[in-house]
Chain A
Amino acid sequence: MLRVPCPWCGPREEIEFRYGGQAGIAYPTDPDALSDEAWADFLFLRDNPKGAFAERWYHAAGCRRWFDTVRDTATYAFEPSPSPDEGNP
C-alpha cells in the first residue's frame, strides 16, 4: 500500500485516495467538433509508460481535493508533490 503525498495534507495512506488516471487530459473545448475517432481517443486511450507518469489522485477520505503528481510506474516512487501554490506538474 502506497503512501500518497497529498500536497495539502502530506503523505497519507493509499486507502484514503481514489486514483484518477493520467493527468493533463483536458476536456475538449468543443466535443462536437471532434470526429468519432478523436473523441474515442480522448475517452478511452491513455499512456502506459514504464517510468515517470503524471497522474491524478483524489484525497477522497481526506481533504477531498484532486491533485496531480508524478509517480514512477516501475518503482512506485512519487516525485515530491509541488506545494499547492506551485500549480500542477
Chain B
Amino acid sequence: MTARRTPSYGPEIDRAKPISFTFDGEEVAAFVGDTVASAILANGIEAPFRSPVLGRPRGVFSAGVEEPNGFVEISEPWFEPIVAATMVDVVEGMVVGSRPGVGRLRGDAPRGRRVEHRNAHVELLVVGSGHDGFYPARDAAARGERVMLVEQHRTIERGAGGDFRAEGVTYLTRATALGLYDDGYVTVFEHADELDRLWHIRADRVILATGAFERSIAFADNDRPGVMLSYASSRYLEHGVLVGSRTVVFTARGGAYATASNLVANGGEVPAIADVSGTESDLGDAKDAEVLRGWVASGTEGDRWLEAVHLEGPGGARRTIECDSLLVSGGWDPNLALWRAIGGGLRFDDEVHAFVPTDGPPWLSVVGSAAGEVPNDAPYWFVPSEDYSRHFVDFQRDQTIADIADTVDAGLRSVEHVKRATYIGTAIDQGRTSGVITAEVVNALLGESPGWQGPSNARPPAVPVPFATLAGPFRGDLFDPVRTTPMHPWHIERGAAFENVGQWKRPWFFPRDGEPMERAVERECLAVRTAVGSMDASTLGKIEVVGADAPAFLDRMYTNRMSNLAVGSIRYGLMLGLDGMVLDDGVAMRLADDRYLVTTTTGGAATVLDRFEEWLQTEWPDLRVYCTSVTEQWAVVAINGPRAREVVSATGTDVDLSREAFPFMTFHDGNVAGVPARLARVSFSGELAYELHVPAWHGLEIWEAVMAAGTPFGIEPYGTEAMHVLRAEKGYVIVGQDTDGSVTPHDLGMDWIVNLSKGDFVGRRSLRRSDVVRPDRKQLIGLFPEDTHALLPEGAQLVLEDTGRMPMPLAGHVTSSYRSPALGRTFALAMLAGGHELHGRTVYAPLPEGTVTCTVTSPVPYDPDGARRDG
C-alpha cells in the first residue's frame, strides 16, 4: 500500500469534477483542485521520481515550494521545462513527465505561455496570506492605503473564521515574490489561468509573512519514497489524500502529534511516534500510537516504496516497524530567503532553536513564524551514526552528511565554501530543506555549538521562472526601440541592406541584382568619385545651441574657436573629455549671432547633449544658453561627387550654387524642389558635396526629388560602408572607430584644430599631462599592404619586427580597413606607437593565415591636397 484518497475529507478538491492527466505516459485520475503531487500520491504511484545524480527512487517529500524531489516537465497545455509538482494545479488533459537524470532542455522551441508584465505602486505589500499578514493588510486597507497581498498557493489561507480575506486588499494568488530589491521594489511571478504575469511592484512598506519551512532530519535512507515532511501529510488531507495507511512519525517537536491525530481521524493508522523532543503532547485521535521517547529513526527498508522503518532507542535498543509512510519533523525554520537576499541579518535563537531575523532595511518587516515565532522543542538536525554515507541532506544534489564531512576534512569551514564544494543548495529547490541542516552539520563537525554559523545566503529568483516571463513583451520589435529616417521606406523599396548604428537603422549598402556587398560598395564608391552619389545622413545628431552666451559656451566645449565663426559659415569641431581624449566631432553652423546648429556623430548625439547640459547646469549656470535636440526635426541628404552641383541645380533651387557665391564650409537657406531647405557645403568624402537639410516631413519627398534629378548624372544611393571607405581614403577619422577614448587630437595628427591661445576649453589642461605628451603614444597612420589585395582585419595587431615567434612586442592596431576602388588597392588606418615619425617604414600584421607586410603612409592616401572639394 501507499497513499490513497480519504473517504470524504478534502476541502481543496471538488470530487464532483473528476479530471485526468498524463504522467510519464500513464493516464492519472484527479479532481479539480489537485496538484500534480497530490494526484500522484492519491494514485499510489510508486517511485514517481529519480534523484538526478544517483538515480535513487524518490517520492513527493513536501507540499510546497521547498520540494526537493518532485520536479516535472509540462508539455501540455503549455510548455514549462521544470517545475515543482507540488506547485502545479492539474488541468484536464495536462501532460507532464518526471525529469530523470540531470535533465536536458528540449532542442525545439515549444509553445510557452502568454506573458505580460505589470507595474504597481502600493503603500503596503504583504507576502503570505496567513493570519500574520492578514491583520496588517486589513488595517492598512481600512486606512485607505493601497495594499497588495501575494500568496503562492491557489487559495488564500483559512482560519477558524474562514478565509483570511480583507476588504480593499488586492490579492495575487499562485503568485510568488521572486526577489526584494532596494527601496521596496519587489518582483512577483503570478501564474494566472490564462497567462504568466511578472509584476514590478514598488511598495512603501513590505511585510514578509512567509511562514516557516518544516525542517527535515538527516538519517540513513531518509530519501526513500514514503518518507515525507510531517506537515505535508496534513496539507494532502486538504486535497483528500491520506499519505499512508500505516504511518510512523519521527519528530523533534510535540506539534507533530496533532498531525498523527489528523491521519487517524481520516482513516489512517499510526502505530508509533519516535519522539526526541522531550515534551509531553496530546495524542488526540492517535491514542493507539506507541510513543517512543528518545527514539530515533536509524534507517528505512523498501524497494520502490517504504516498507519498514528501523528505530533506535536509549541504550542501543532497536525496533523495526512495518509501515508505508514515515513522517519527519525536525521543527520549523523561518522562511527568510527574501529577507536575506536583500541583506537582512540572521541570528540563532536558543529558545526556538532556529535562525531568526535581526536587522533589515527600514521599509521591510517580518511577522509571525517567519519572524521566529516557531514552536520548536529541541535543537535536532540529524541522527548520529557511524556511517553517514546515506544520510541525505540535499536530495536534489544527492549530497549526504558524509559528503559534507569530506569537505570539512579538506579544510573548509564556511558554509558558503561547503556549498560551492558540494553544490548543496544550488539546485532548483535552492536548498530550502537542506540549508539549515548543512549549517548545523558543519557546526557540529567543527565542534562548534548550534547556530555558530547560519545557512548560506539566498538569491533571487526565489522560484524557477521562465526566461520568457522575465523577457515578457520585450522581444522582437519591442526588444529595443528602432529609429528610422523619413527616407526609410525608399531604402526598403530599393532593397538596402541595413546596419544598426545605436538604435538607428541605416542603409549599409544598396545591392543591385543580388550583387555581393563588396561589389555594391565598389560601385557606390566609384559613383561618388566619378559622378555623384546620395546618402541619407538624417541620423546625424543635431543640436541647436541658442543664447547670448552660445559663442562663449561653444568656445569652451570645442578645441577650436567657434565664437568668431561668421553667420552663414560652418566649422568642423572636435570635442574632448576632461582627460583630453577625443569624445565626439561634428560641424557647427552659425545660424545667427546667438544661434548655432551643431552636428554630432550618430551614436554620440545623446551623450553630447547631456554633456552640454551638465556643464551649463553645474559649472556655468551664469551662461545664457539653451540646448535643444533637433536630430529628428531635420532630414538630411548628402549629395557627393563631381556632379553634385549639377544635381542640386537640376533638383531646382533659388540658391546661387556658383563657386564664388557659395564657397566650401558655408550654408544658405532657400528652397529646393519647392521645399524650404538649408544647403550646406560640407564634405565627408573629399568630393564636391552639398548637405541638404529639410524639415523631416519633407525628407522622403526631397530624397525622391534628388534621385530623380540625379538620374541623368548617374546618381547612385550609397550606404554607410561606402561612406566609410570614402572618408577613410581622405583620412577622416570616425570617432569611436578610429578612436577609443584613449586618443588625443595630437595622436590623430589634428593639432591644427586645437587652439591653445583662445582660453580654457574642456580637456585643454590634460593635453600637457606627462602621459599625453609621450612621443611613443599610438598615433594615426595609413597602411598600404604590400599585397594590394590583402585586406587587413580591423583590430589586427601590428609589430615592428616579425620574429615569427610569439609573443612579439605589439606596436599598434588596425582601426579601419577597406578596398579602395579609387586607389585600386586595399589600405587601412591604424594607430601605431610613435607613428607620426614612422611614415615609409615597414610594419607587420601577424595573422593566423600568414603575416601581412605593410608600408606606413600618411593617413590621407587620396587627394591629399584637397583639389577635388570644389568640383
Interface pair A3/B610, CB less than 8 Å apart = no
A76 touching B182 in the complex, CB below 8 Å, given contacts A3-B202, A39-B769: yes
Interface pair B578/A77, CB less than 8 Å apart = no
The closest CB in chain A to the CB of B764 belongs to A31
B727-770: contact bitstring with A at CB < 8 Å (1 yes, 0 no)?
00000000000000000000000000000000010001110011
Q: B769 is contacted by which of A13, A26, A36, A76 (Cβ under 8 Å)?
A: A36
List B contacts of A2 (CB < 8 A). 182-183
B280 within 8 Å of A by Cβ? no
B159 within 8 Å of A by Cβ? no
The closest CB in chain A to the CB of B181 belongs to A1
| Chain B residues bordering chain A, tally (CB within 8 A) | 22
B602-619: contact bitstring with A at CB < 8 Å (1 yes, 0 no)?
000000001001100111
A64 within 8 Å of B by Cβ? yes
A48 within 8 Å of B by Cβ? no
Interface pair B613/A43, CB less than 8 Å apart = no
A60 within 8 Å of B by Cβ? yes
A65 within 8 Å of B by Cβ? yes
| CA of A56 to CA of B619, assembled, Å | 13
A43 touching B610 in the complex, CB below 8 Å, given contacts A56-B618, A76-B182: no
B81 within 8 Å of A by Cβ? no
| CA of A13 to CA of B185, assembled, Å | 10
Query: Which secondary structure dominates chain A's binding surface?
Result: mixed
B167-187: contact bitstring with A at CB < 8 Å (1 yes, 0 no)?
000000000000001111100
Interface residues of A in 21-78 (CB under 8 A from B): 26-27, 31-32, 34, 36, 39-40, 43, 56, 58, 60, 64-66, 75-77
Interface pair B618/A31, CB less than 8 Å apart = no
Interface pair A65/B617, CB less than 8 Å apart = yes
Interface residues of B in 566-620 (CB under 8 A from A): 578-579, 610, 613-614, 617-619
* Chain B proximity of A53: nearest CB distance (Å): 15
Interface pair A39/B182, CB less than 8 Å apart = no
List A contacts of B481 (CB < 8 A). none
B162 within 8 Å of A by Cβ? no
The closest CB in chain B to the CB of A25 belongs to B618
B361 within 8 Å of A by Cβ? yes
B411 within 8 Å of A by Cβ? no
The closest CB in chain B to the CB of A56 belongs to B618
* Chain A proximity of B421: nearest CB distance (Å): 30
Interface pair B765/A34, CB less than 8 Å apart = yes
B315 within 8 Å of A by Cβ? no
B362 within 8 Å of A by Cβ? yes
Q: B614 is contacted by which of A3, A26, A66 (Cβ under 8 Å)?
A: A66
Give the interface centre of B183, B185, B614, B764 by most chain A CB atoms within 10 Å.
B183
* Chain B proximity of A2: nearest CB distance (Å): 5
Interface pair B578/A43, CB less than 8 Å apart = yes
List A contacts of B617 (CB < 8 A). 65-66
Interface pair A36/B770, CB less than 8 Å apart = yes
List B contacts of A76 (CB < 8 A). 182-183
A1 touching B185 in the complex, CB below 8 Å, given contacts A18-B610, A60-B610, A75-B361: yes
List A contacts of B579 (CB < 8 A). 43
| CA of A39 to CA of B578, assembled, Å | 10
List A contacts of B760 (CB < 8 A). 31-32
List A contacts of B764 (CB < 8 A). 31
Interface pair B185/A3, CB less than 8 Å apart = yes
* Chain B proximity of A50: nearest CB distance (Å): 14
List A contacts of B181 (CB < 8 A). 1
Interface pair B765/A39, CB less than 8 Å apart = yes
List A contacts of B765 (CB < 8 A). 31-32, 34, 39
In the complex, given contacts A3-B184, A31-B764, what are 7 additional A-B residue pairs having Cβ atoms less than 8 angstroms apart?
Answer: A3-B183, A3-B202, A27-B619, A43-B578, A66-B613, A75-B361, A76-B183
Sort A-B residue pairs by CB-CB distance and give the 3 closest, nearest first.
A31-B765, A3-B183, A66-B617
Which residues of A pack against B, CB within 8 Å? 1-3, 13, 18, 20, 26-27, 31-32, 34, 36, 39-40, 43, 56, 58, 60, 64-66, 75-77
Can you pick out 25 interface pairs between chain A and chain B where the beta carbons lie within 8 Å of each other? A1-B183, A2-B183, A3-B182, A3-B183, A3-B184, A3-B202, A13-B202, A18-B610, A31-B760, A31-B764, A32-B760, A34-B765, A36-B769, A36-B770, A39-B765, A39-B766, A43-B579, A43-B766, A58-B610, A58-B614, A60-B610, A66-B613, A66-B618, A75-B361, A76-B183
